[in-house]
A and B are shown apart, each in its own frame.
Chain A
Amino acid sequence: MPQNKVYWEDVAEGQDIGSYSMVMTAVKISGGAWATRDTNPMHHDKAFAQKAQQRDMIVNIMHSEGILSRLATDWSGPEGELKRTRFNIEGNCCAGDTMTVSGKVVRKWIGGEDEGYLSGLHLVELQVNSVTQEGPFCNAQITMTLPTKADEGSR
């Protein structure tokens, strides 16, 4: 199967990186919690979640991380490498909700000497947001490397 390949040189700050939507059924929420080994009943048991003041079973943070990180690598293709991610849960995503994930490039730079393991890498930072019909759910800042034309030319 042909793979996406986005070169660092071709990216512009402000550029959209696409979007997708998923219906988060109870099966999907519980399945995502098991796939991330999260046994908190908040992600498996509607009665428990409601007693804990949630509308219904909620999507767990590792599942959210998986769904939002995927937008970055779907866009870049497999040669884009995730380096640093931050996820902040603002609301909730409950059984039956439709989660829509979208993002854009907010920064493009070469890692500075003071940036430790990112030093010298060709980087972009993506702002990725997910919302449900009820409002904001989770927002993320994702830093990744992209392949460069310069590197390929020198091979």
Chain B
Amino acid sequence: MALTEKDTALLGKESEPFYAPDEVSKSMIRHFCEMMEDPNPLYTDEEYARNSKYGGIIAPPQMLMVWCMPRMWPFPEFPWMPMAELELPGVDTWIATDMIHEFHKPVRPGDKLYYIMKLDKVSDLKKTRIGEGHFITTTQTYYNQRREMVGREVRTVLKYKPKEEGEGGQ
């Protein structure tokens, strides 16, 4: 199935900035490292980090997306986002399938990040192992409070309708 006219018109559109709910914090960094079992001393060892070229703790670069994840409560007011405007009739469940991250500048405790999202691509309806759906690709560009670009992310998610029990396919 091809895209609706409204959905096609959203391709290439950019969002307003979406701000992280909180500043980058050592406690969130420690929680992340705990779950990944990541011993890198730049992330959690004050003394090592102070004597490194960074002069202090940095966030794991791979946390780029984490800082701007929305709160569950109270649910934030989102700015206009092309992805949220997509109609894509019949699909309501989603998973991420592909992610590219570029790291341009270190992110440090106390930084407050925001991103701008661009809608790059939406596939026609495709059959997958778990059901039929659309692959949606967006680019998020992340900035800090000094408006310096810290990184970029190209993410593909599958928004799909899970197959019913007993349906065929692979």
Contact = CB atoms under 8 A, between A and B. Distances in A.
Q: Do A and B come from one complex?
A: yes
Given A36-B65, A36-B69, A62-B63, 8 more contacts: A3-B41, A42-B95, A66-B36, A66-B60, A78-B41, A85-B62, A85-B99, A87-B99
A74 B60 CA distance: 13
A54 B129 CA distance: 10
Interface in B89-144: 93-104, 129-131
Contacts of A53: 129-131, 162-163
B69 to A, nearest CB: 3
Contacts of A89: 95-98
Contact of B96 (A52, A61, A84): A61
Interface size class of A (residues with CB under 8 A): 35 or more
Interface residues of B, number: 40
A28 B36 CA distance: 9
Contacts of B100: 84-87
Contacts of A39: 69, 72
A86 B98 contact: yes
A97 interface: no
B61 interface: yes
Main SS at interface, chain A: mixed
Given A53-B129, A53-B162, A62-B65, A67 B36 contact: yes
Given A1-B41, A53-B163, A78-B42, A35 B101 contact: no
Interface stretch (B8-16, B27-35, B79-87): B27-35
B66 interface: yes
B162 A52 contact: yes
A61 to B, nearest CB: 4
A92 to B, nearest CB: 9
Given A42-B95, A54-B130, A36 B40 contact: no
B36 A32 contact: yes
Interface of A: 1, 3, 22, 28, 31-32, 34-40, 42, 51-54, 58, 60-63, 65-67, 69-70, 73-74, 78, 81-89, 117
Nearest to B21: A37
Contacts of A73: 38, 40
B65 A52 contact: no
Nearest to A3: B41
B37 interface: yes
Given A35-B32, A39-B72, A65 B99 contact: yes
Contact of B35 (A42, A66, A81): A66
A20 B37 CA distance: 11
A66 B99 CA distance: 12
A69 B99 contact: no
Nearest to B92: A52
Contacts of B98: 86-89
